[in-house]
Amino acid sequence: MTIAVFDVGKTNLKLCVLDGGQMVWSATRPNLPIDVPPYPHADAAGVEAWLLEKLTEAARHFPITDIVPVTHGACAALVTAAGDLALPILDYETPLPEAAAYGASRPDFAETLSPDLPLGLNLGRQIFWLQQQFPERFTQARWILTYPQYWAFRLSGRAVSEVTSLGCHTDLWNPITRGFSSLVVRQRWGALFPPLAGAGESVGLISPAIATRTGLLPTCRVRAGIHDSNASFLRHRLAAEGPFSVVSTGTWIIAMGGGKPLSALDPTRDCLANVDALGAPVPCARFMGGREYQVLTGGLGTPDAGLARDLMAAGAMILPSFSETGGPFPGRRGEIWAGDLSADGRASLASLYLALMTDVCLDLCGSQGSIRLEGPMAGNAVLAGGLAAMRRGQTLALSDDAAGTLLGAALLVGVIPPPKTDTAIVPLDGPWDAYRQAWRQALG
């Protein structure tokens, strides 16, 4: 099989081609929302145009047999019976102040394992707000499609629902009963969700129009698709022989998997249960690490282990938070305890901050056993080495899946990836125990 993985991240779009589980071609571009009325929204038309352009390029070189959509969560499209958008696809970082009444409608955490999150990070809040603000256009919707399944629909013409996207802090899914939540019943949204399909299930062949336009094989299958963090998690879930956790990095840094009982998760600290591709709830804790790193560094500088050690010894530190999207310390305004720093110094200090925050997230989900670090930020040596230094009782390794999603997507379509070549992470030298304790004491 030759698979195309269409990865729609909050920050970047990627199209990757895998042959035998190995990446052989890729393309990427930034993914920016459109900030115009009626509200900030995804550039769905621009994304689709780019996707078709890159599929055309890839099809010239590879006989693509399958396409797997993989996207970020907290996103859905309202689609008419004609297949058009009833409303633009809302960007989840949009404030929704008129949705105050939603608090009285959303289910308890015990039912959905979905915390009450700011902005539009609860997909149920988005749908509620759209229904209240645009009632006429809302009634034009035939389907509510979570984001991976929207792209499967655009490519194949078949509408399906899927549990990893329904179960990622949406308020829409009950992971214990494995069915829709009381919110969906109460709001009478049930008929708007199409039938469930497995993430790896073929929803049909590529549409004839797209096959003609791109040169893709007309027999190319479109898979239902999966939430990106769950794609990262799947490979380790299937191979696990004992307790383990996965730290998925990107716009968000998410600690997934641990021994903490679901009932003990703290919803006030952005703890939740995602639903994996097999339908099971997974303890998680997270923060917007990639975004915060960008804010702190401006994209400049290179983390350096020597600088990091000097900064620790000097007591320099960064305290959370630098985003408004939850995390373990919601509502806390970020602080930088340091003098003037070079670009490399700032990148090193920001990397120390990410390591400390990730360590907290692993504690919050009850991490035990081995830890796999993967995704775009896994190559940050200060983050990886610092995390290994603080969690010496656990085995920490760098996943060989640089994208964090590709091998999970390959498994969905039945491709057995090459044997793991994950690399053990060597703990970074430095006064980590004292620094960690001082940082936590500064947070009270």
DSSP for 358-415, written as a single string: HHHHHHHTT--SEEEEESTTTT-HHHHHHHHHHTTTS-EEE-S-TTSSHHHHHHHTT-
Q: Is 424 buried (19+), middle (13-18) or exposed (0-12) by CB count in 10 A?
A: exposed
User: Would 188 be classed as within a structural domain?
Assistant: yes
* Total-model pTM: 0.91
Of 224, 255, 284, the residue at which a domain comes to its end is 224
- 282 part of a folded domain: yes
Is there a single domain that holds both residue 298 and residue 175?
no
Structural domain count, the chain: 2
What pLDDT does 100 receive? 64
Domain at 99, CATH number: 3.30.420.40
| pLDDT digits 0-9 by tens, 256-300 | 998 889 989 999 999 999 999 999 999 999 999 999 999 999 999
SS3 166: helix
- DSSP class of residue 95 equals -
- In this structure, the answer to whether residues 305 and 417 fall within a common structural domain is yes
- Asked if the structure places residue 212 within a domain, the reply is yes
Q: Is residue 236 part of a domain?
A: no
Q: Which of 20, 30, 29, 28 is nearest to 62 (CA)?
A: 20
**DSSP letter, residue 91:** -
Has residue 235 been placed in a domain? Answer: no
Helical residues (DSSP H) of 240-313, grouped into ranges: 289-297, 305-313
Q: Are residues 377 and 403 in the same domain?
A: yes
Q: How far is CA 318 from CA 112, 288, 357, 378, 436, in A?
A: 33, 15, 10, 20, 12
User: Are residues 295 and 410 both part of a single domain?
Assistant: yes
- Residues of the chain with confidence (pLDDT) below 50: none
Would you state the pLDDT for residue 21?
81
CA angle at residue 329 from 300 to 336, to 5 degrees? 40
> Cβ(199)–Cβ(71) under 8 Å?
no
In this structure, are 105 and 246 located in the same domain?
no
Same domain, 178 and 52: yes
If asked whether residues 46 and 147 sit together in one domain, one would say yes
- 216 and 318 together in one domain: no
Q: Are residues 269 and 335 in the same domain?
A: yes
pLDDT at residue 404 in the model: 66
| pLDDT given at position 71 | 97
C-beta separation of 322 from 295 below 8 A: yes
* Residue ending a domain, choose from 179, 196, 224: 224
Model pLDDT for residues 311-370, shown as the tens digit of each residue: 999 999 999 999 988 899 988 999 999 999 999 999 999 999 999 999 999 999 999 999
Task: From 99, 89, 94, select the one nearest 42 (Cα to Cα).
Answer: 89
Q: Is residue 233 part of a domain?
A: no
Residue 118 lies in a domain: yes
**Shared domain check, 299 and 172:** no
pLDDT in the model for residue 293 = 97
Range of the domain at 375: 241-442
Q: Are residues 215 and 70 in the same domain?
A: yes
Query: In this structure, are 170 and 211 located in the same domain?
Result: yes
Of the residues 224, 256, 289, which one is the last residue of a structural domain? 224
Is residue 375 one of the residues assigned to a domain?
A: yes
pLDDT at 259: 84
